[in-house]
Amino acid sequence: MHEEGEGQQVPCVWGAGVGKRPGLVDGSEERADVCLPDAPSPSQISEHYGPVHTLHLGPRGVLVLWGYQAVKEALPDQAEEFSGRGEQAAFSWLFEGYGASFRDGERAKQLRRFSLTTLRNFGVGKRGIEERILEETRFLLEALRGTKGLPFDPTYFLSRTVSNVISSVVFGDRFDYEDKEFPSLLSMTTDSFRFTATAWGQIYKMFSGTMRYLPGPQRAAFKQLVGLEKFIEKKVKENQETLDDPSSPRDFIDCFLVKMQQEKQNPSSEFSLKNIVLTVLTVFFAGTETVSTTLRYGFLLLLKHPEIEERIHEEIDRVIGRNRTPSMEGRSRMPYIDAVIHEFQRFCDVIPMGLARRVTRDTQFRGYTIPKGTEVYPVLGSVLYDPTQFSSPDTFDPSHFLDGNGQFNTSDAFVPFSIGKRYCFGEMLAIMELFLFLTSILQNFRFRSPVEPKDIDISPKLIGFASLPRSYEICLVPR
């Protein structure tokens, strides 16, 4: 990658990862964001080599964009040039270019357009999906009351609740909390997501060409993803056998099957059984893990900061009271909760690197010529933690999203869903879920921690493709 007219290379460094900040792996002293001993942190690399540099991940060289300004100049300002999809080793071995998220070109455009339209038709971003979320909230509140104020790990409670919302769209129905298949399905999703955040997951990212054939923890992650694929294949087959009226599709799968039938004579159609399975897997996986992890991390932050929880209770009581069901209509009158949720997403930074990009043609960027096909890591965590955009980025502080009058104030550097042409198309669903679940829970319960707030560690346990909180227990006391 050369600077035009001068033949100078983009600053280059050898490293092992591009996570946002130091972290520990399973309580050990190994750095989660850089696997090499005594290696500099990504922020130190950026300070030395600049916000645009090449990082060698094993044999692969990738272009790293660090900080708000560099990412903004690439993703939205040169959206078409940076719209290609880069390598995501932990998933690419299964997807092999199929589905809506891990592919470039016409296939990605067709499947992404279809997915967006179908999700909207099933009410995502509208009143329809709000009703589904509120219905699931009632089941969640009943389950939380069953804890009787005793300590429990919220992971499974949140995962099954969030998963049921997207399940109602893609599979046409929710899972009963007592369904024996449901825990296995959630375990497959959670375990494979967790692998991407481990040191082994980052090593695999560098040497996937070899490691996919070797024994190791990656084999267990492969098994979990294959299990999800088989489950969705079974669901697709069931829909094929029971779809009686193509004019009245019951769910996302039915819509895809109808589209397949409509385009069966089109040789360039991307609507095939392989694409339906892997598109549904993408929607289900992303629709479960990112929101449930954000909530789980967010609850830990509120245990650490009980004064913030108290302000949320005050706003809930003042705006909607104790008995009225929360709604998205009331969100505009609850600026503090909105700010807290945005700060959850900023501070937790669940997908710090986002999905890798690739330039679609030879591209001029900041004086450099970036050759077509170059893989690009626009590090979203570096934007969410950019000190030029947030006054105290390393501190959990909802005032990052409040103006001087206490009203909600967004930021251009709020990019947890990415920006540009390949932003996350589940953004509206995630926003609604975070607001309705959090507001409903805190309307009914107070959070209590079995340990003192000062002893709660809010640093991430794992940082890689994903950023995951430490395990903890919480007590929910009825209000």
Report the alpha-carbon distance of residue 10 to residue 20 in Å, rounded: 21
Inter-residue long-range contacts of 257-266, CB under 8 Å, 24+ positions, other chains counted: 259/114
Q: pLDDT value at position 199?
A: 84
pLDDT band, residue 422 (cuts 50/70/90): confident
Section 445-463 average pLDDT? 95
Please report, rounded to a whole number, the percentage of residues in the chain having pLDDT higher than 90. Answer: 56
Q: pLDDT value at position 100?
A: 58
Inter-residue long-range contacts of 107-110, CB under 8 Å, 24+ positions, other chains counted: 107/270, 107/275, 110/269, 110/270, 110/271
Report the alpha-carbon distance of residue 139 to residue 177 in Å, rounded: 9
Report the alpha-carbon distance of residue 46 to residue 89 in Å, rounded: 24
Question: pLDDT tens digits for 85-138?
Answer: 887 777 776 666 666 565 666 677 788 888 888 888 887 767 789 999 999 999
Residue 154 Cα to chain centre, angstroms? 18
Other residues' Cβ atoms within 10 Å of the Cβ of residue 248 = 9
Report the alpha-carbon distance of residue 286 to residue 162 in Å, rounded: 11
Question: pLDDT tens digits for 172-193?
Answer: 999 999 888 899 999 999 988 8
Q: Half-sphere exposure of residue 126, counting CA atoms within 13 Å on the CB side?
A: 9
Given a cut of 80, whether residue 216 has pLDDT beyond it is yes
Going by C-alpha positions, the residue among 272, 259, 278 that lies closest to residue 101 is: 278
| Type of residue at 27 | G
Report the alpha-carbon distance of residue 79 to residue 68 in Å, rounded: 15
Q: Both tokens of residue 159?
A: 């995962």
Residues 270 and 310: beta-carbon distance below 8 Å: no
Other residues' Cβ atoms within 10 Å of the Cβ of residue 389 = 18
Going by C-alpha positions, the residue among 280, 293, 283, 252 that lies closest to residue 437 is: 293
Report the alpha-carbon distance of residue 219 to residue 105 in Å, rounded: 30
Residue 14 Cα to chain centre, angstroms? 27
Given a cut of 50, whether residue 34 has pLDDT beyond it is no
Report the alpha-carbon distance of residue 312 to residue 316 in Å, rounded: 6
- Mark out the alpha helices in 50-146 (DSSP H runs): 68-74, 89-95, 105-121, 127-145
- Mark out the alpha helices in 151-272 (DSSP H runs): 155-170, 181-195, 199-211, 217-242, 252-262
Report the alpha-carbon distance of residue 183 to residue 475 in Å, rounded: 22
CA 468, 423, 219 angle in degrees (round to 5)? 45
Given a cut of 60, whether residue 37 has pLDDT beyond it is no
Q: pLDDT value at position 20?
A: 43
Going by C-alpha positions, the residue among 285, 377, 304, 379 that lies closest to residue 343 is: 304
Helix (H, G, I), strand (E, B), or coil: what is residue 341?
helix
Q: pLDDT value at position 40?
A: 67
Going by C-alpha positions, the residue among 379, 197, 186, 422 that lies closest to residue 289 is: 186
Residue 26 Cα to chain centre, angstroms? 21
Q: pLDDT value at position 96?
A: 66
Question: pLDDT tens digits for 273-320?
Answer: 888 898 888 888 888 899 999 999 999 999 999 999 999 999 999 999
Given a cut of 90, whether residue 371 has pLDDT beyond it is yes
Going by C-alpha positions, the residue among 477, 478, 469, 158 that lies closest to residue 300 is: 469
Report the alpha-carbon distance of residue 318 to residue 315 in Å, rounded: 5
pLDDT band, residue 32 (cuts 50/70/90): very low
Q: pLDDT value at position 109?
A: 78
Given a cut of 70, whether residue 170 has pLDDT beyond it is yes
Question: pLDDT tens digits for 189-207?
Answer: 998 888 888 888 888 888 8
Section 316-337 average pLDDT? 95
Q: pLDDT value at position 22?
A: 34
Q: pLDDT value at position 89?
A: 76
Report the alpha-carbon distance of residue 103 to residue 91 in Å, rounded: 12
Q: Tell me what the pLDDT averaged over the chain comes to.
A: 86
